[in-house]
Copies of this chain bind each other. A is one copy, B any other.
Amino acid sequence: MRQDGTRNKHDDAARAGWLYYVAGNTQDEIAAKLGVSRQTAQRLVSLAMSEKLIKVRLDHPIASCLALASELRSRFALDLVEVVPSDPGNPDTTLGVADAVAAELERLLSAPEPRIIGVGTGRTLKAAVEAMSPIDCPQHKIVSLTGNIAPDGSAAFYNVIFSIADKVSAPSFPMPMPVLASSASERELLHQQVGIERTLALAAQASVSFVGIGDLGPKAPLYMDGFITQDELKLAQKAGAVGEMLGWTFNADGVLIQGMINDRVASPPFPSRETSLVVAAAKGANKVDAIRAAVRRRLVNGLITDEETAQALLA
């Protein structure tokens, strides 16, 4: 019943959205055509937007974004760079970057040749996956590049492998283990488990990976989400850590911090930039140092970011 109700509502919303955005009707006309009140029509249109039934994409290469992209590409010898416009004044939404990642993922997944695609975690990737259209692509495999167990034992919220599995019908492979092991030796044990070993092997074969970048400032996601304590964060900062990808912390030169957190990162080794494409999706002033470090040391060979961040990286 509720199923049906929702479906019909979404149908109507889609129809209303189509009439509004594509056919250019006013909400009064839509109300008349659908036989509802104007307010209801308005709600349907707004629902079509908020539920992403209607997708809007910018189809024009904004010159300055293109210029920034090509400068980033040559400066850091990157293989894939995408720069989306910024929304000055709303510096914290992942909006544009997520959309761009979604588009890239859709492009990849709609290709016929089978691929193994690695995905990390984070708000940006999560938002990207949510912006994707459902797609049927059993030829590909999607493998998580991090554990999916939060410190309290629950499923880590920003792990995106499950969101992807909901959205696209491709075989997907979570890493059934914590993000951080309690010690280096526990990590070894975990990695020797048969199921995990197999998934790790699969991850190593990924030809494209998407990862988020976390900063290690006072609001480091690793700390905010409870993966590390404040003391551990302080120690890492003292050791020069500026950012983190897949849990691996690194300093301003893009060199992995020795010991400490990195001894316990349960993720597979960082994917190869010689044999595969590793795309970082990140934006924001607080991440600039981390992103710069990652691209300078070529921890990644692809970057999707926004205009402001691109400018800061090149400054």
Contacts and interface: CB of A to CB of B under 8 A. Distances in A.
Interface of A: 7-8, 10-11, 13-15, 17-19, 21-23, 25, 29, 33, 48, 52-60, 62-64, 85, 87-90, 93, 95-96, 99, 111-112, 133
Given A11-B64, A63-B11, A19 B85 contact: yes
Given A22-B96, A33-B88, A17 B58 contact: yes
7 contacts: A10-B60, A11-B62, A15-B85, A19-B87, A54-B56, A54-B58, A54-B60
Contact of A23 (B54, B55, B62, B93): B93
A58 B87 CA distance: 24
Q: How many copies does the complex hold?
A: 2
Contacts of A95: 22-23
A182 B25 CA distance: 45
Contacts of A88: 33
Contacts of A111: 112
A14 B63 CA distance: 10
A10 B58 CA distance: 12
B57 A55 contact: yes
